[in-house]
Amino acid sequence: MRLTKKRHACVRLEKDGAVLVVDPGGFSEEDAAVGADAVLVTHEHPDHYDEGRLRAALAAGAEVWAPRSVAEQISAAFPGRVHTVGHGDTFAAAGFGVQVHGELHAVIHPDLPRVTNVGFLVDGSVFHPGDALTVPGAPVDTLLLPVQAPWSKISEVIDYVREVAPRRAIDVHDALLTDLARPIYDTHLGNLGGAEHLRLAPGESADR
């Protein structure tokens, strides 16, 4: 499997000629989902879900798996190709095996309602938690780590890596992190997380 980092929370996975894209939102590239056979969406926030990008992928033949709050917005126009998923579900998407873990977005502020958020464990190896520090309860080789968000702080991110205990953690959810701050995050996560820490620039790839 080849993993390619796209901007912010979006990643592209390729295996045996098939392409799976996770969270092609409004902060990711316009063509982030182009050529995808399958698209996974963790939740409805616009930095993870962009309706235009998703409709373009569906029109080109992709299938989509997403929580109900996303699926209901687009399923009527693409019958049979938009699938609603929730915690505990398992399915095959373009030859990738996917397990669904988690139910709610992390708390941004007690005054704000929490939306549904699911994480996806792909091929029992790569875990994308969306906007939550969900521990999947299964071994994880590569954790796609949300390093910076309005709902997190670095100590929580470090403890999350320790609890999941992956072989390596690769940064996602990083569009709001300035270049000046990146070395600070790199140092703390590398020294304290207990896993190999890898930061990919948009367009860079890593193999499993």
How confident is the prediction for the chain on average, in pLDDT? 97
Q: Would you say residue 12 lies in a domain?
A: yes
Where are the extended beta strands (E) located within 28-95?
38-40, 63-66, 82-84, 90-93
Do residues 33 and 66 touch, judged by C-beta distance below 8 A? no
Residues of the chain falling short of pLDDT 50: none
Q: Would you say residue 208 lies in a domain?
A: no
Structural domain that includes position 84: 2-201
Q: Would you say residue 206 lies in a domain?
A: no
Give the pLDDT confidence score for residue 168 in this predicted structure: 98
Q: Would you say residue 24 lies in a domain?
A: yes
Give the pLDDT confidence score for residue 165 in this predicted structure: 98
Rounded to whole angstroms, how far apart are CA atoms 99 and 61? Answer: 22
| Percentage helix, strand, coil for the chain under 3-state DSSP, each rounded to 5 | 20, 30, 50
Q: Would you say residue 33 lies in a domain?
A: yes
Determine which helix (DSSP H) or strand (DSSP E) holds 155, and give its type and residue range.
helix 154-164
Q: Would you say residue 76 lies in a domain?
A: yes
Q: Would you say residue 207 lies in a domain?
A: no
Domain total for the chain? 1
Q: Would you say residue 26 lies in a domain?
A: yes
Do residues 195 and 159 touch, judged by C-beta distance below 8 A? no
Give the pLDDT confidence score for residue 208 in this predicted structure: 77
Give the pLDDT confidence score for residue 36 in this predicted structure: 98
187: domain CATH number is 3.60.15.10
